[in-house]
């Protein structure tokens, strides 16, 4: 490679690493694996070493990745939170130790000791204590300036608010989510049709960097402390001694730390951590080798980016070949159908893998997977097994193409994949796999509003086989419900009364409760008003539906497909038989004073909630919209009205106060 080619490649690598680093550090949404990123950095570092004239202080080899997220206060670290120099082979570890021993000899230091620790895969943070009390916590950021996340860190139960000694101390630790909690989080997100976290590290980083600490509090964050950054009134000579002191102060200290006297012991420690990696409750992405002598550390010093007294050994991802025996499909609570790979059992990174998710139809096509293929499998982030690729050279011609099912494998209803989505879904409302989620929605406040029938009670009813479909709610007996709680007679009677009351709900509530894709509360009211009965709505055709205001092509198609299902027809018959109202109730008022008028609400109202105001507008024949346009007639502006008010003023739209609105509805 000549100089011109080297310069071009260096610039290309800098752009790539900057982009991937931003995705990883700032957006907590990585696009490539840690190993792939590391290999790009190794290539960049080697090229810059070979062609030093092209080194730039803006290169990620010369600085720490990460920026301060908008919305957080900046914190300047008194002691920089540096990164570590990565090494990828035992030979490089030996070179590091040899260099350290040489420096020790030059400085008259004998018997250099080391501490080998697990490199926890999380988000590095600093905790600052004054007179023993926690006063501030910050993320690493770019190493020099981080984000003030004090309130978020205070939600982590293993962080002491006060330590034993009344001293000033700043410590550094790694915030993480355990393997078990990470799997549980992703399972819940999958059930809720939310984007899955790529790995535990990014789940932890995204959770800690929430602008709302109440969200952080719901996440299972933990922390291990691994360093004293600064301490007043106390002096240490050994890193190992520091860690023992921190433990006595009540800190949750990195549990894996091995004291080593020479390179052979270091290699054994690395090997030992590698072997125990699978049994650890937390994810790691390497082993850190540090000099124990703090005075020697001072002599060695640091570069702009990394200390000269430590390196991080990165374990290579273990990959194995196995056979993709079959692909089966599982149906989640929301009806999403997920293909699952059935594998010839193979041991990877300490555990036997016999199946793994294939995510969706697009993933299978992208990897060009066929049933019967020899595939390469690895563990992503030490936790999730994944198929990397098919070994096409080993195909025999007997491999079979896989097709996503057109019928639900659980209930036999039609499946659908909507435009712009990667998921294939079951459309059956009585599908057993979806029953719990459908029940929770059916009884919710916005739908049938059955007070007392919460998620916990629904779970118990299903577990005890007291209900097997939605309509069974209306056949529940007093004694069935009472059996769920100690002294449950009163609770049971209240719930029976609430169930009976729900039978008299207006039609729009029933339409909402059915959970038709894309049809929310507003659309349900429009449909109830136009069609008057559930039977009329069930007969509506696509053309007339999509001609209605606010009912577009996607919604119209979804409604037609829903009512064409045998399961839908069966459920409606059961509900009618149970006495549930399926007709629109007569509107008490014929006052259409807002007919043809569109309102937009912005800011905080004193006497109405947003929903109450919207209901009043709709009651008088008006329409409540979420966005301001030329078609808007009125903008109802409360306290702290924002950009909608500004836009309305620029368009010359009539702006009314809450008092003026109250006059209009008298």
Once rounded to an integer, what is the mean pLDDT over residues 49-68?
Answer: 73
Once rounded to an integer, what is the mean pLDDT over residues 112-121?
Answer: 95
**Per-residue pLDDT at 573 exceeds 60:** yes
pLDDT band at 121 (very low <50, low <70, confident <90, very high): confident
Q: What is the pLDDT of residues 381-439, one digit of tens each?
A: 556 788 999 999 999 999 999 999 999 999 999 898 887 788 899 988 989 888 988 99
Q: Which of 625, 630, 622 is closest to 647 using CA atoms?
A: 630
**Per-residue pLDDT at 448 exceeds 90:** yes
**Per-residue pLDDT at 29 exceeds 80:** no
User: Can you read off the two tokens belonging to residue 572?
Assistant: 């409606």
Which helix (H) or strand (E) is 74 found in, with range?
strand 74-76
Assign 52 to helix, strand or coil. helix
Residue with token string 């190993």: 35
Residue with token string 């992703």: 186
pLDDT band at 643 (very low <50, low <70, confident <90, very high): confident
With beta carbons less than 8 A apart as the criterion, state whether 86 and 312 touch: yes
Beta bridge partner(s), residue 558: none
pLDDT band at 99 (very low <50, low <70, confident <90, very high): very high
Secondary structure of 333-369 in the HEC alphabet? Answer: CCCEEEEEEEEEEEEECCEEEEEEECCCHHHHHHHCC
If phi > 0 it is left, if psi is from -120 to 50 it is alpha, else beta; for residue 151 that is: alpha
User: Can you read off the two tokens belonging to residue 67?
Assistant: 């920026």
Beta bridge partner(s), residue 414: 407
Assign 374 to helix, strand or coil. strand
Beta bridge partner(s), residue 86: 312
Tell me the pLDDT of the chain averaged across its residues: 89
User: Can you read off the two tokens belonging to residue 646?
Assistant: 């500004």
With beta carbons less than 8 A apart as the criterion, state whether 412 and 311 touch: no
The domains located in the chain, with CATH, are: 3-54 (1.10.287.610), 84-313 (3.30.470.30), 319-394 (2.40.50.140), 427-585 (1.10.150.20), 598-664 (3.40.50.10190)
Once rounded to an integer, what is the mean pLDDT over residues 646-657?
Answer: 91
Q: What is the DSSP-derived secondary structure letter of residue 7?
A: H
Catalytic residues, which ones? 119
Once rounded to an integer, what is the mean pLDDT over residues 127-154?
Answer: 93
| CA distances from residue 571 to 215, 562, 567, 574 in whole angstroms, order as listed | 37, 12, 6, 5
Side-chain half-sphere CA neighbours of 312 within 13 A: 17
What are phi and psi for residue 179, nearest 5 degrees?
A: -60, -45
Instruction: Determine the pLDDT at residue 134.
Output: 95
Q: Which of 197, 193, 169 is closest to 185 using CA atoms?
A: 197
What whole-number distance in Å separates Cα of residue 369 and Cα of residue 390?
Answer: 6
Residues 6+ apart with CB under 8 A from 103: 299, 300
Once rounded to an integer, what is the mean pLDDT over residues 470-485?
Answer: 91
With 0-12 / 13-18 / 19 or more C-beta atoms within 10 angstroms meaning exposed / middle / buried, residue 247 is: middle
Q: What is the pLDDT of residues 344-358, one digit of tens each?
A: 998 886 668 899 989
Other C-beta atoms lying within 10 Å of the C-beta of residue 36: 12
With beta carbons less than 8 A apart as the criterion, state whether 118 and 280 touch: yes
What whole-number distance in Å separates Cα of residue 278 and Cα of residue 312?
Answer: 19
Beta bridge partner(s), residue 116: 258, 289
Once rounded to an integer, what is the mean pLDDT over residues 86-111?
Answer: 94
**Per-residue pLDDT at 581 exceeds 70:** yes
Question: Which range is least confidently modeled, 158-172, 498-512, 581-595, 635-649?
Answer: 581-595
Side-chain half-sphere CA neighbours of 232 within 13 A: 10
For the stretch 311-337, what's the b/e string if a residue is b when 16 or more beta carbons lie within 10 angstroms of its beta carbon? bbbbbebeebebbbeebebebbbbbbb
Q: In what side-by-side order are the strands of the sheet with 114-120?
A: 85-87, 310-313, 284-291, 114-120, 257-260
Question: Which range is least confidently modeled, 42-56, 374-388, 449-463?
Answer: 374-388
**Per-residue pLDDT at 66 exceeds 70:** no
Once rounded to an integer, what is the mean pLDDT over residues 362-388?
Answer: 86
DSSP symbols for 637-660: E-BT--HHHHHHHHHT-EEE-HHH
DSSP symbols for 241-287: HHHHHHHHTT--B-S-EEEESSHHHHHHHHHHHHHHTTT-SS-EEEE
What whole-number distance in Å separates Cα of residue 407 and Cα of residue 426?
Answer: 8
Measure CA of the first residue to CA of the last residue in the chain; give whole Å: 82
Question: Which range is least confidently modeled, 118-132, 249-263, 409-423, 531-545?
Answer: 409-423
What are phi and psi for residue 56, nearest 5 degrees?
A: -130, 145
Q: Of residues 603 and 114, which shows the higher confidence score? A: 114
Beta bridge partner(s), residue 348: 351
**How do strand 424-426 and strand 336-348 relate by DSSP bridges?**
antiparallel
Instruction: Determine the pLDDT at residue 552.
Output: 85
What whole-number distance in Å separates Cα of residue 304 and Cα of residue 310?
Answer: 14
What whole-number distance in Å separates Cα of residue 579 and Cα of residue 560?
Answer: 25
Instruction: Determine the pLDDT at residue 275.
Output: 86
User: Can you read off the two tokens belonging to residue 47?
Assistant: 């090229």
With beta carbons less than 8 A apart as the criterion, state whether 133 and 170 touch: no
Instruction: Determine the pLDDT at residue 493.
Output: 93
Task: Tell me the chain's radius of gyration from C-alpha atoms.
Answer: 31
Q: What is the DSSP-derived secondary structure letter of residue 330?
A: E
pLDDT band at 589 (very low <50, low <70, confident <90, very high): low
Instruction: Determine the pLDDT at residue 349.
Output: 67
Assign 321 to helix, strand or coil. strand
Instruction: Determine the pLDDT at residue 62.
Output: 72
Once rounded to an integer, what is the mean pLDDT over residues 634-641?
Answer: 88
**How do strand 374-380 and strand 654-656 relate by DSSP bridges?**
unpaired
Once rounded to an integer, what is the mean pLDDT over residues 13-26?
Answer: 79
Instruction: Determine the pLDDT at residue 158.
Output: 94
Once rounded to an integer, what is the mean pLDDT over residues 613-629?
Answer: 86
Instruction: Determine the pLDDT at residue 27.
Output: 66
For the stretch 263-279, what's the b/e string if a residue is b when 16 or more beta carbons lie within 10 angstroms of its beta carbon? beebbebbeebbeebee
Residues 6+ apart with CB under 8 A from 256: 117, 118, 273, 276, 280
What whole-number distance in Å separates Cα of residue 543 and Cα of residue 205?
Answer: 48
**Per-residue pLDDT at 192 exceeds 80:** no
Residues 6+ apart with CB under 8 A from 117: 226, 254, 256, 257, 258, 287, 288, 290
Query: Number of helices and strands (H, E) in the chain?
Result: 24, 22
């Amino acid at each position: 490679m000549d100089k011109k080619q080297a310069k071009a490649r260096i610039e290309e690598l800098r752009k790539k690493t900057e982009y991937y680093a931003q995705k990883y550090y700032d957006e907590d949404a990585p696009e490539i694996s840690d190993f792939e990123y590391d290999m790009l950095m190794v290539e960049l570092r080697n090229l810059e070493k070979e062609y030093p004239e092209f080194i730039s202080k803006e290169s990620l080899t010369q600085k720490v990745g990460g920026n301060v997220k908008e919305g957080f206060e900046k914190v300047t670290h008194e002691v920089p939170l540096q990164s570590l120099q990565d090494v990828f082979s035992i030979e490089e570890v030996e070179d590091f130790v040899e260099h350290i021993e040489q420096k020790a000899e030059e400085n008259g230091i004998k018997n250099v000791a080391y501490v080998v620790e697990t490199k926890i895969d999380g988000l590095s943070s600093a905790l600052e204590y004054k007179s023993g009390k926690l006063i501030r916590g910050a993320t690493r950021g770019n190493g020099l300036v981080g984000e003030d996340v004090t309130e978020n860190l205070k939600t982590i139960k293993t962080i002491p608010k006060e330590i034993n000694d009344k001293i000033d101390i700043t410590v550094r630790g790694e915030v993480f989510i355990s393997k078990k909690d990470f799997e549980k989080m992703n399972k819940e997100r999958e059930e809720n049709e939310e984007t899955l976290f790529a790995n535990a590290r990014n789940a932890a980083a995204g959770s800690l960097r929430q602008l709302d600490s109440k969200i952080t509090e719901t996440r299972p964050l933990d922390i291990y402390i691994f360093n004293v950054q600064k301490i007043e009134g106390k002096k240490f000579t050994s890193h190992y001694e520091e860690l023992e002191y921190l433990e006595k102060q009540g800190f949750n200290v990195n549990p894996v730390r091995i004291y080593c006297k020479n390179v052979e012991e270091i290699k054994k420690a690395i090997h030992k951590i590698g072997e125990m990696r699978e049994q650890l409750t937390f994810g790691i992405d390497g082993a850190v080798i540090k000099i124990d002598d703090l005075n020697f550390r001072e002599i060695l010093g640091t570069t702009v980016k990394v200390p000269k007294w430590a390196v991080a050994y990165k374990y290579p991802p273990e990959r194995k070949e196995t056979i993709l025996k079959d692909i089966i499909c599982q149906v989640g609570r929301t009806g999403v159908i997920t293909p699952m790979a059935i594998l010839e059992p193979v041991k990877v990174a300490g555990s036997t893998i016999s199946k793994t998710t294939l995510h969706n139809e697009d993933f299978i096509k992208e990897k060009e997977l066929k049933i019967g293929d020899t595939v390469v499998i690895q563990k992503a982030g030490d936790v999730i097994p994944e198929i990397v690729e098919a070994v096409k050279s080993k195909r025999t011609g007997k491999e079979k193409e896989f097709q996503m099912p057109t019928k639900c494998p659980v209930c036999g209803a039609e499946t659908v994949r909507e435009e712009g989505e990667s998921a294939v879904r079951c459309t059956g409302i009585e599908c057993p796999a979806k029953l719990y989620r459908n029940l929770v929605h059916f009884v919710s406040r916005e739908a049938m509003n059955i007070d007392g029938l919460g998620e916990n009670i629904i779970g118990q009813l299903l577990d005890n086989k007291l209900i097997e479909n939605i309509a069974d709610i209306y056949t529940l007996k007093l004694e069935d419900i009472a059996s769920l709680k100690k002294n449950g007679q009163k609770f049971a009677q209240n719930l029976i009364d609430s169930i009976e009351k729900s039978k008299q709900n207006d039609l729009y509530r029933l339409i909402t409760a059915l959970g038709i894709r894309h049809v929310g509360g507003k659309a349900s009211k429009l449909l109830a008003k136009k069609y008057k009965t559930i039977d009329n709505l069930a007969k509506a055709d696509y053309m007339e539906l999509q001609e209605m205001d606010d009912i577009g092509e996607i919604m119209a198609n979804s409604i037609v497909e829903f009512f064409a299902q045998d399961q839908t027809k069966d459920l409606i018959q059961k509900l009618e038989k149970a006495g549930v109202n399926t007709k629109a109730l007569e509107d008490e008022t014929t006052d259409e004073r807002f007919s043809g008028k569109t309102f937009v609400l912005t800011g905080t109202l004193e006497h109405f909630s947003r929903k109450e105001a919207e209901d009043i507008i709709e009651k008088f024949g008006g329409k409540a919209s979420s966005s301001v346009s030329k078609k808007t007639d009125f903008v109802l502006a409360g306290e702290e009205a924002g950009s909608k008010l500004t836009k309305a003023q620029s368009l010359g739209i009539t702006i009314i106060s809450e008092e003026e609105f109250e006059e209009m509805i008298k």
